[in-house]
Amino acid sequence: MEEVISVKALSKNYGPKKAVNNLSFSVKKGEIFGIIGPNGAGKTTTIEIMEGLRKKSSGEVSVLGMDPEQDRKKLNGKIGVQFQATSIQKKMKVKEALSLFSAIYNQKSSGDHMLKLLGLEDKMDTYFDDLSGGQKQRLTLALATLHQPEIVFLDEPSMGLDPHARREMWNIIRALRDEGTTIVVTTHYMEEAEKLCDRVAMIYNGELRALDEPARLVEDVSAHYVSFRSPDFPLDELRALPGIVKVEQDMEADAYKIYTENLQETSFHLFKNAQEGSYHIADFKFERGTLDDLFVHYLEGGQTA
Amino acid sequence: MTALWQLTKLETKMFFRDKLQVFWTFLFPVLMIWLFGSMFKNESMGGFNFASLYVPSWIGVNIVTTAFFTLGTVLSGYRETGVLRRYQSTPLAPWKILFAHTIQGTVIFAFSAVVLVVFGMLVFDLHMPEYLGSTVLALLVSIISFFPFALFLTSLAKNVGTAAAISSLFLNLMLFLSGATFPLEMMPEVLQYVAKVLPLYYVIELLRATWNTSPIWENMTSVYVLLGISIVSVVLSSKFFRWSGKDE
Per-residue confidence (pLDDT) for residue A303, from 0 to 100:
44
Q: Write the CB contacts of A262 (distance below 8 Å, at least 6 apart in sequence).
A: A242, A243
| B89 touches A: beta carbon within 8 Å | yes
Per-residue confidence (pLDDT) for residue A304, from 0 to 100:
41
User: Of B228, B226, B182, which Cα lies nearest the Cα of B207?
Assistant: B226
Given phi > 0 = left and psi -120 to 50 = alpha, else beta, which region is A97? alpha
Task: Specify the amino acid at residue A73.
Answer: K
| A87 touches B: beta carbon within 8 Å | yes
Per-residue confidence (pLDDT) for residue A80, from 0 to 100:
93
Q: How far apart are CA A211 and CA A217, in angstroms?
A: 8
Per-residue confidence (pLDDT) for residue B107, from 0 to 100:
96
Per-residue confidence (pLDDT) for residue A170, from 0 to 100:
92
| Interstrand relation of A17-28 and A3-14 (parallel, antiparallel or unpaired) | antiparallel
Q: Is the dihedral of CA A278, A282, A287, A292 positive or negative?
A: negative
| B78 touches A: beta carbon within 8 Å | yes
Domain span holding position B134: 3-240
* Chain A residues touching residue B18 (CB < 8 angstroms): 91
Full-model pTM:
0.83
- pLDDT bracket for residue B65 (50, 70, 90): very high
pLDDT beyond 70 at B248 = no
Contact A53 B10 (CB under 8 A): no
Per-residue confidence (pLDDT) for residue A28, from 0 to 100:
95
Given phi > 0 = left and psi -120 to 50 = alpha, else beta, which region is A287? beta
User: Of A216, A211, A174, A219, which Cα lies nearest the Cα of A192?
Assistant: A174
Per-residue confidence (pLDDT) for residue A112, from 0 to 100:
63
Whether B39 is in a domain gets the answer yes
Three-state DSSP at A185 gives strand
| Contact status, residue A196 vs residue A185, Cβ threshold 8 Å | yes
Tell me the average pLDDT across B81-106: 91
Contact B82 A87 (CB under 8 A): yes
Whether B65 is in a domain gets the answer yes
Per-residue confidence (pLDDT) for residue A198, from 0 to 100:
95
Contact B247 A14 (CB under 8 A): yes
Rg (CA), chain B: 18
> Could you give the angle at which helices B94-124 and B28-40 cross, rounded to 10 degrees?
30
* DSSP-assigned letter for residue A241: S
Distance, in angstroms, between B76 CA and closest chain A CA? Answer: 12
* Chain A residues touching residue B159 (CB < 8 angstroms): none
* Chain A residues touching residue B21 (CB < 8 angstroms): none
Contact A79 B3 (CB under 8 A): no
Three-state DSSP at A5 gives strand
Contact A100 B244 (CB under 8 A): no
| A52 touches B: beta carbon within 8 Å | yes
Express each pLDDT in A175-227 by its tens digit.
Answer: 999 999 999 999 888 888 888 999 999 998 888 988 989 888 877 665 578 88
Q: Chain B residue with minimal CA distance to A68?
A: B89
Q: How far apart are CA A212 and CA B151, in angstroms?
A: 48
Q: How far apart are CA B69 and CA B166, in angstroms?
A: 10
Ranges of residues in chain A with a pLDDT under 70 are 85-86, 109-117, 220-223, 299-305
Within chain B, where are the H helices?
3-17, 19-22, 28-40, 50-65, 74-81, 83-88, 94-124, 132-155, 160-177, 189-195, 199-212, 220-240
| Contact status, residue A227 vs residue A263, Cβ threshold 8 Å | no
| B242 touches A: beta carbon within 8 Å | no
pLDDT beyond 50 at B126 = yes
Q: Which fold has domain A3-219?
A: Rossmann fold (3.40.50)
Domain count, chain B: 1
HEC profile of B100-123: HHHHHHHHHHHHHHHHHHHHHHHH
Q: Which fold has domain A224-288?
A: Alpha-Beta Plaits (3.30.70)
Looking at the DSSP bridge assignments, the partners of residue A199 are: A33
Looking at the DSSP bridge assignments, the partners of residue A249 are: A256
* Chain B residues touching residue A52 (CB < 8 angstroms): 89
Per-residue confidence (pLDDT) for residue B237, from 0 to 100:
87
| B19 touches A: beta carbon within 8 Å | no
Distance, in angstroms, between B240 CA and closest chain A CA? Answer: 17
Chain A, residues 200-229, CB within 8 A of chain B, namely none
Tell me the average pLDDT across B73-85: 90
Contact A79 B89 (CB under 8 A): yes
Where do the structural domains in chain A lie, given as residue ranges?
3-219, 224-288
Nearest by CB to A103, from B6, B18, B89: name it.
B6
